[in-house]
Structure 1
Amino acid sequence: MFAVIKTGGKQYNVAENDELKIEKIEGNVGDTVTFDQVLLVGGEGAPVIGAPVVEGASVAAEIVNQGRGRKIIIFKKRRRQNSRRRNGHRQYLTTVKITEILTDGKKTSAKKAAPKKEAKAEAPADAAAPLFTAPEGDKDDLKKISGVGPVLEGKLNALGITKFEQIVNFSADDIAKVDEVLNFKGRIERDDWIAQAKELAGK
């Protein structure tokens, strides 16, 4: 049996045990989600086409992973002196595994309740762990970087970022880690923190 579902403004052809990446939906790893917008069901006799959805049909899936897609660079340049903008974007994605295709108003069987608690218990420990080893000595005033206020400075310090020198030496992986933890959406590259940190560090 297969079905065509709609989520995140896109349509997907799915069957049981299929894994697919879709636009982010709320939930923890191990949670069961239900897609009610089923446009077509087939595989047993003649396919049933919805108008616009198939009445009483739904598709159940288990969340396998919450992550992000590959980085896309958006570069804009006009015929003006120094008129250029470079932004990065990484789309938030949810990986789900299709567990059941239900028809005639049947309910989802609650199979995977146990992993929920494990996922919730592990999340705070990962969030609290610093990403970097803070260097010795007095902290630099990170608020001098454009867009960084006292609250954001505190979050950066909690991640182990206390000096301009660390930002100057950021690799692409370091930027991606900070971007993901603090949900920056490309702010480090958009505001050119590395160039600002170089200037503030006197380099």
Structure 2
Amino acid sequence: MFAVIKTGGKQYRVAANDVITIEKLDGAAGDKIEFTEILMVGAGADATIGAPFVEGAVVSAEVVDHGRAKKVIAFKKRRRQNSKRTRGHRQHHTIVRILDIAAAGGKAKKASKKAEAAAEEAAN
């Protein structure tokens, strides 16, 4: 089973025991957190797609560590002006381990009218 979660303005496809790097979250290492903005949950044909989120679905995770990404250099130069500027930036991030995906309360996707008609004909 997998889920697509939304955090930090990005979307991540996660499964149980995955370790992912996301935008910085509050909390110390070892703290438990829950993601409630679940866009999709399930596996294969049993997947539930939210509109925009799946109601009642929760992904539990544990904060493993906090860190900073590699330095990104922003260099500006104006030619023939003896003018240049160098700036560096290191983005903060949080490493989390996905513990559990709970799809309780998620609404099942309705079958189309053609599929319902085909099922009725097969039953008769």
Measured against the shorter chain, the TM-score band is 0.7 to 0.9
Deviations 1:20-66 (A, max 9, x none): 00000000000001111100002275210010000110111000001
Q: Does 1:73 align with 2:93?
A: no
Q: Which letter maps to 1:8?
A: G
The alignment yields a C-alpha RMSD, in angstroms, of 1.3
- Matches of residues 94-105 of structure 1 in structure 2 within 5 Å? 94-104=94-104
Match of 1:30?
Answer: 30
Q: Percent identity?
A: 58
CA distance in 2, matches of 1:95, 1:101: 18
Match of 1:130 in 2: none
Residue 41 of structure 2 is matched in structure 1 by 41
Q: Give the TM-score normalised by structure 2.
A: 0.80
Shift of 1:82: 2.2
Q: Which runs of 4+ in 1 moved over 6 A?
A: none
Q: Using the TM superposition, give the Cα deviation of residue 85 of structure 1 relative to its aligned residue in structure 2, in angstroms.
A: 1.0
TM-score (norm 1): 0.50
Q: Which residue of 1 aligns with 2:110?
A: none
Partner of 1:11: 11
AA aligned opposite 1:25: L
Count of equivalent residues: 105
- The C-alpha deviation readout for 1:139-174, integer Å capped at 9, x for no partner, is xxxxxxxxxxxxxxxxxxxxxxxxxxxxxxxxxxxx
Deviations 1:69-100 (A, max 9, x none): 11111111123522211011111000000001
Q: Which amino acid aligns with 1:90?
A: R
Distance in 2, Cα, partners of 1:81 & 1:58:
56
Alignment match, 1:51? 51
Deviation string 1:3-28 (CA, Å, 9 cap, x unpaired) is 00000000000000000000000000
Larger Rg: 1
Q: Which amino acid aligns with 2:5?
A: I
Partner amino acid for 2:70?
R
Normalized per residue, the structure richer in helix is 1
Following TM superposition, by how much is the alpha carbon of 1:104 offset from its aligned partner in structure 2, in angstroms? 1.8
Deviation by residue 1:86-127 (Cα, 9 ceiling, x = unmatched):
01111100000000101225xxxxxxxxxxxxxxxxxxxxxx
Q: Does 1:85 align with 2:106?
A: no
Q: Equivalent residue for 1:140?
A: none
- List runs of 5+ in structure 2 lacking aligned partners: 106-124
- Name the SS of the counterpart of 1:67 in structure 2: strand
What is the CA–CA distance in structure 1 between the aligned matches of 2:77 and 2:35, rounded to whole Å? 42
Report the AA paired with residue 39 of structure 2.
Answer: L
